Amino acid sequence: MWWFWYDRGHLSEGRRWLEGYLGKCSPEVSKGRAKALNGASWIAMFQGQFEDAQAYGQEALALFRELEDGEGVASALVQLGAAAVLGQLDDVPVPVLLEEATRLRPKIQDPSTIGNLSMLSGLFAAVSGEFDQSEALLGEALALFRKIGDITGICHCLTAWGLATLSGRAYEQAYALFRENLRVAWESDHKVTIQSSLLGLGAVAASREQSVRAARLWGAVEALEEAYGIRMSLAGLYLAGYEGYLELARSRLEEVEFAEAWAEGKAMTTEEAVHYALSENTVPPMGFESVGSSSGEPPSMLTRREREIASLLARGLTTNRQISAELCISKRTVETHVRNILGKLGLRSRYQLAERFVGADRG
């Protein structure tokens, strides 16, 4: 369950359940307790409570060792190493953890654990300034996660790779990685990754002297932090160069202008923030009006995919299943696009949308 709590942003709820279980279950060595400790360590890490993450991770590792569970030991080593890297914990010997986990790799059966090991190695290389090695390791991890369909792994790897390229000032590559990551995260409702992608895209905007856009995106990051209790890691902020870009964006705007842009971003819904981040628009997508031409054509404010879906709705394909089969995309993706179209045009239902553009489709 802790993966669900983490993926959906229910960090406080998940932590309460895990700590409640740990407080009630027998202190004797058990695989269930070790797994719960690993989960609590993971969630605490994304709450920004790295010392708690370290304590839980160390206890989990000790239990897996007593159980002689090599798979569990490897997962705990990776988790403890992740907490150390992301929280910049100097008293945890990350190279030693990685070396032991790498020795165990031939015995690891869970491909996600192998992918996480490669990803952690790549992240550690990035923090150490070894960007070529980082890219190779993160590319290896991403290929594995794509092969096994591990969405969470894909999100984590794209985040790490985006941060690494941002740290190396490869802005166009960082931009592409964060945009891809944001799309994947939005379709899978992965709140942590939505937040980190918005922060990364804000840094890219600041590097392009788009200070208002950067402030809006960072305002949206703060809104997610307050809503879900998600804290950006110290290593993530370091690799993103957040403090430097924040100061750069502030220096280019009047104080009032910067504050207004930040407030606009913070006032966005998550959907609006995602749409804004993925668009090239400079105006925040709040208070959409019904905009369109008298000819009934889907307006240019819609993306190419959104116009395709609007046309299919006009042809009478009104269910997500019908449209997903026609376009070879998932039903969840269709649902997201329809919601975006309705929001942009100020409509309440897909039937209103179909009526609006039926003339254009027939033409």
Q: Is residue 278 part of a domain?
A: no
8 A C-beta contact, residue 36 and residue 18: yes
Average pLDDT score over the chain: 83
User: What are the C-alpha distances in Å from 212 to residues 219, 240, 253?
Assistant: 11, 18, 8
CATH of the domain at 339: 1.10.10.10
Q: Is residue 309 part of a domain?
A: yes
- Tens of pLDDT along 303-326? 777 888 888 887 777 778 888 888
**What residues contact residue 23 under an 8 Å CB cut-off, 6+ apart?**
none
Whole-angstrom distance, CA of residue 102 vs CA of residue 199: 32
Q: Is residue 54 part of a domain?
A: no
- Tens of pLDDT along 244-289? 999 999 999 999 999 999 999 999 999 999 999 998 755 555 433 3
Total count of residues recorded for the chain: 363
Whether the predicted pLDDT of 60 surpasses 60: yes
Q: What is the mean pLDDT of residues 5-30?
A: 74
Q: Supply the pTM of this predicted model.
A: 0.69
The structural domain count of the chain equals 1
Q: Is residue 317 part of a domain?
A: yes
pLDDT at 196: 93
Q: Is residue 177 part of a domain?
A: no
Q: Give the domain range for residue 339.
A: 304-362
- Tens of pLDDT along 113-147? 999 899 889 989 988 889 889 899 999 999 999 99
* Phi then psi dihedrals of residue 284, to 5 deg: -65, 140
Tell me the angle at which helices 320-327 and 304-314 cross, rounded to the nearest 10 degrees: 120
Confidence of residue 2 (pLDDT cuts 50, 70, 90): low
Closest to 126 measured CA to CA, from 154, 168, 155 = 168
Q: Is residue 322 part of a domain?
A: yes
8 A C-beta contact, residue 222 and residue 302: no
Q: Is residue 228 part of a domain?
A: no
Q: Is residue 345 part of a domain?
A: yes
pLDDT at 281: 57
